[in-house]
Every structure is written in structure tokens, then in C-alpha cells.
Structure 1
Amino acid sequence: MTGRLLNWGILGCAGIARKAMIPAITGSRNGRVAAVASRDAAKARAFADELGIARACGSYDELLRDPSVDVIYNPLPNHLHVPMTIAALAAGKPVLCEKPLGLSAAEVQLLQAAQRRFGLPVAEAFMVRFHPQWQAARDLLRSGRLGELRAIHTVFTYFNADPDNVRNRPELGGGGLYDVGCYAVNTARFLLEAEPEAAIGLFERDPAFGTDRLTSGLVSFPGGARLAFTCATQAALTQEALIIGTKGRLHIPVAFNPPPDMAATIVFDDCRDLIGTGREVITLPPADQYRLLAEAFADTVLGQAAALEDIASSISNMRALDALLRSATTGRWETL
């Protein structure tokens, strides 16, 4: 595959594929979208025509059997992440799968076993790690300017009360924790470069849907640092992160979906006072984090770069989500 563009196949007609990943792959230096699949052939054809994709498949299996497709992007509903990723591996295709990689650590371990058996790359699509603002945040931490990291606070909320939307259907793996709470845990692990030890969560469930519509959690890390987060599927659109150390703090105003065509800003404050005398605004160039993710995964498939985070990292993330969900029943801190 070295020296040519990878042909991507897209499983399903998800909104994230239409809005973010397909444009990202199309604009990437090492890939193109060759085919899309849906269980509804007419839907696949309309989706392909809308986005300028040459091939439309009327089943997932048809796409997986296509020898011209080199790599798969799996943005299907959460309950299909593991089974369809395993099916793609069995068909000889590497897979970039949307988050969460599975619905439990145990399920992701099944995928890990399959990945080892077939020996093909698999990665979870946490695009935020590729954006310069998060890399700059970690560089600041490593430099010591924030001192010892003590707390990370994140908020990721949006409003979606559509009963037919997959995010509001528990049997499909819907709910705020799976959809956006996973980002809080992942970015905390990225910044702390450590794995969580225990977690506790508070969940409010929609009485009609049964999914968590408002979730807050605490996650403890070695050395005493903690993540505190709120995620919601029925609240005003909000994204931000606050990173607090012993010498300063860092604010990321648009933490998870900064527009790809706009510069991003993060704000460091040495906390000499409460009126911002020690503020420093750091401006990062515009970046399409989805394109950077797609290029990095393609480089891995082409053998031109080291593998992205392995499935063991995804299992660690899922263990934290598992603990948060267990705590909803027990009402106490749950160890990982």
C-alpha cells in the first residue's frame, strides 16, 4: 500500500461521517473515500451521491468483501462497534472505529483478542488528542509551568431530545456518558499520562428514553489528581476544560470541537491574582483534528508511522466508564 492513497470504506451513513470524517479523509494527504455502505441500498446511493462517493453498497458485508477497499471507518451505533469491527478484521481490513470502542471493557477485550488474531491495526477515533490545543496543553504541563496537576474540570453538553436518535436509545448504546463523557476520561488520561484508580458518578436518566441525559463524575488518578466532569444530552451547548495545577491553571474554551477553519486559543494564568494579571493567551493555528486523525491512522496502515494508541488504552478508558456506571447502582466509589 505504500506510495498510494488508501481507499476508505464507510460503514453506515452516520452524521459524524457526513459532517466530519468524510470531508477529513477527502482532504487528507494519504486517503480517499471509495465506498459507503448501508443496509438500505437507496440510502447508501443517495448518501454517496450527496458526498461524491463513487461506490454505494447495499449491505455492510458487500463493503467488507470489496477488494478495492483498504481500510474501514466504523461510525455505526455504539452496540455495533465491536461486532462490525471484528467482521472487518476478519475480512482483512484495518479499522478506525468511533468512540466508545465498545460498551464495556469486557467487550473491548473480545475485540483485542480478534485484533491480535488477525494482526491488523484498530484505533478508537479520539480525534481531540491530535488537535494542537491539547498537545500544547500537555506540553505546558510537561514544562512545569502549571506545577503539579491537581484537578481537571470538563463540561461537554448539547441538546437532543429526538426519540429516534441513536443517542437516545439505550439498546443501541445511547446516553451522554458513552457519547461525550468518554472524552472527559480520555483527555484526562492524555494530560496526566496515567490511568484512573477509582470513579463515582451521578446519573439522571430520561424517564421516556432510559438513557443518561445528565451525568457528573469524579475520577481519581495516582498521586491524588482528580477529574471532575459533567456531560449531558439535554442541556445548552457547552464545551470547555479547566486544568488546575499548584502554580497555575489553563482554560480551553472550546475543548472538544474547535472549528477546523479557525484558530484555537487556550488561556494560561499563573494565578498571581484573581483579575488576570498573569494571563497569557496562546493562539494555535487552525487544524482539522479529524483530518489529522485520519492521516495518522492511514500512516499506521501504510507502515509509515508507529501505531496509534492500542486497544489496551481503549480498555483502560472503558474501565473508567464501567466504574462510573457501577457506582450508579452502588452509590460509592468503584475501583478500576
Structure 2
Amino acid sequence: MKPVKWGIVSTADIGVKKVIPAMLRAKGVEIAAIASRDAARAREVAQKLGIPKSYGTYEALLADPEIEAVYNPLPNHLHVPVTLQALAAGKHVLCEKPIALTAAEAGQLTDAAKKAGKLVTEAFMVRYHPQWRRARELAQSGRLGDVSLISSVFTYYNVDPANVRNMGDIGGGALYDIGCYPIVTARFVFGAEPVRVSAAIDWDPTFKTDRLTSALAEFPGGRHLVFATATQLVPRQHVQILGTKARAEVMIPFNAPPGQATTLRIDDGSDLTGANIVTEVLPACDQYALQGEVFSQAIRGEAPLDFGIDDAILNMRVIDAMFKAAKSGKWENV
């Protein structure tokens, strides 16, 4: 396959430290340029990572006819505006999560992508990791029995007022930043959409962000997702998928270390000390590289795009409903 030539808009940490290094190693991916509103910063990052070209504006990168696809890791409030610009410039877009601040805002991308004849996908790299493919297989194969509960926790501690995650007016906060992961993985494992949600939020009085959000999502067939996410608690992440016969635990569900094997634990509950736990080891990989490879293959028409704008809108509808439920104190339909 001829490599897809990529441009990166922004020198955001997630791109520079995680996504770009992975994509530089990915098959069918060529990072051709990077842009920043600070030209010196763009040159510095380009030199450090071995990227051929750098630009001092996003518009200059988007005008480069060599660039076929764009990775957008900008702050949340810029996801839709810059993705629309990229589509108008004839580029495919891999956009960081959450793809928008509301489902209605995300809906703008549907017509824009159709008009441009280009693909857009939300950067939920976890769906490409073998551990999540295996977790879904276990849940849907009957190995765990009838699966009706997924329990997730995803937290970190960050009180830096200069960090975009702590800026309420540009889409900061726990639910947007990391609460979206328990939602998307539950949808992935259940293979269904939730019908209603309830939620409780503790708002930071200074940042105006949700620093602790707990939520319950009801899926068809009496299945539940229960999760908590926070930006000011000890770092922790875990996921348990419970069925009538056994449970599966994804040990490092969201930030799986690249280049290291990952593990799933399967427990039939017959010994509460865990003596009968069976451990499955999944091969080492980099989920960001896999994401870049799969999307590049879709751009070349060599693989289907499993998760397009429609999927991103569905995830945003759940987030919208959770914010609404926390405000109303009632169940809210998705």
C-alpha cells in the first residue's frame, strides 16, 4: 500500500509524546508535516521527530497539496472548527476525542465529510488494541455467560490551572477528557447503544469543570455500565466485565503501555481469594500505531471504516445525556 501522507495540526503533548512517535513507526503512514501557531515550536518538534516540513499556521499546512490526512489533537473546543477546515481543504481527518462538545456540534461534520468525499474518525485508539478485541470476544461468545454489567474507573490528579483539561470554557473536565472511554468501550463490548442514563457531578468551583463524575447507563436487555471518572483523584484505571458464569478484568484498559504485553484476567468466582483466576496475555503492540494503520488503510480503500462520524455522534449523545441528567437529577433518555 502506498503510504498516506499525514499532517499534524498542533504540537499538543498527546501528539508529540504518544501519537506521532507511534505513527512514525506505523505501516502505510508517512508524517510529512506539522503545524503550530508558534512557528519556532513547530520547527523544534519537526526537527526532534524527523518530520520534513513545519508550518507556523494550521491554514498553511491545510493548503499543502501533498498532505492527504490530518491528525487533530487540538483542545476540545477546536475539534470541530479545525476538522471542518481540514475537510474543506480536501483532507481526511483523525480527530482526538471527544470529537465535539455536543452531539449537535458533531453533526456538522456529517454533511461536510460527504461534501468533501473524505473520511473522519474519532481517535479512540483502544478499539484497535488486541486486549479490547479479546474482551469483546469473551463477552459476546458466551465464555462469561450472559454479560449484563461493566464497571469502570478512570482517574488522574491534575490541578494545574494552565492545563487545558482544567479550563471549563474550552471543554475541560473529567467526562469529556476520560469519561468518554468507559462509554465507548461499553458500547464496543455490548455492541449496543444505551437508552437512558443517570449521573452525579462534583464541579470544581474555580475551574468550572467536572472534577468527579459518576454515571449509570442502561443498555437494552437490562445491561448496565457503571463508572466513575475524576481529574483530582489518585491515578487509577480498571474495567471489569461481569456475566453469569465469569468476569473478565482488563488490567490496564485505556493507557496500555506500548511495546509491552497486556493481560486479561478471567475469574469464575469460585474462590474469592482469586486462586482460580485464569490470565490471558495479549501480544505487545502500540494502539496508536494500529489506529493510524487502520485509518490509513480505510483512506486507501483497503479496509472498511468501522467507526465514522455516526459512531462519534452516538458517543456524544451519551455524554450530552449525562450532563443533562446530572443537572436534572433524573434519568435522561439518550
TM-score (norm 2): 0.98
Does the CA contact (< 8 Å) of 1:216 and 1:230 recur in 2?
yes
Q: Does 1:124 align with 2:129?
A: no
Q: 2:59 aligns with which of 48, 51, 61?
A: 61
Identity of aligned residues (%): 49
Equivalence map 1:1-336=2 (5 Å): 3-336=1-334
Shift in Å at residue 212 of structure 1? 0.8
Distance 1:67 1:99 in 2: 26
RMSD: 1.0
Shift in Å at residue 239 of structure 1? 1.0
Does the CA contact (< 8 Å) of 2:140 and 2:190 recur in 1?
no
The secondary structure found in structure 1 opposite 2:229 is strand
Shift in Å at residue 71 of structure 1? 0.7
Once the two structures are superposed, residues 134-174 of structure 1 have per-residue CA deviations (whole angstroms, 9 ceiling, x without a partner) of 11111111220111111101111111111011111111111
Shift in Å at residue 286 of structure 1? 0.6
Distance 2:261 2:11 in 1: 29
Does the CA contact (< 8 Å) of 1:70 and 1:93 recur in 2?
yes
Shift in Å at residue 308 of structure 1? 2.9
Distance 2:318 2:68 in 1: 33
Does the CA contact (< 8 Å) of 1:249 and 1:269 recur in 2?
yes
Does the CA contact (< 8 Å) of 1:163 and 1:169 recur in 2?
yes
Does the CA contact (< 8 Å) of 2:140 and 2:189 recur in 1?
no
The secondary structure found in structure 2 opposite 1:316 is helix
Question: Once structures 1 and 2 are overlaid, which stretch shifts more, 272-281 or 221-230?
Answer: 272-281
Distance 1:76 1:308 in 2: 23
Distance 1:313 1:170 in 2: 25
Shift in Å at residue 221 of structure 1? 0.2
Distance 1:279 1:165 in 2: 40
The secondary structure found in structure 2 opposite 1:218 is strand
Distance 1:5 1:135 in 2: 26
TM-score (norm 1): 0.97
Does the CA contact (< 8 Å) of 1:296 and 1:308 recur in 2?
no
Shift in Å at residue 276 of structure 1? 2.4
Question: Once structures 1 and 2 are overlaid, which stretch shifts more, 192-201 or 142-151?
Answer: 142-151
Does the CA contact (< 8 Å) of 1:98 and 1:125 recur in 2?
yes
Does the CA contact (< 8 Å) of 2:202 and 2:213 recur in 1?
yes
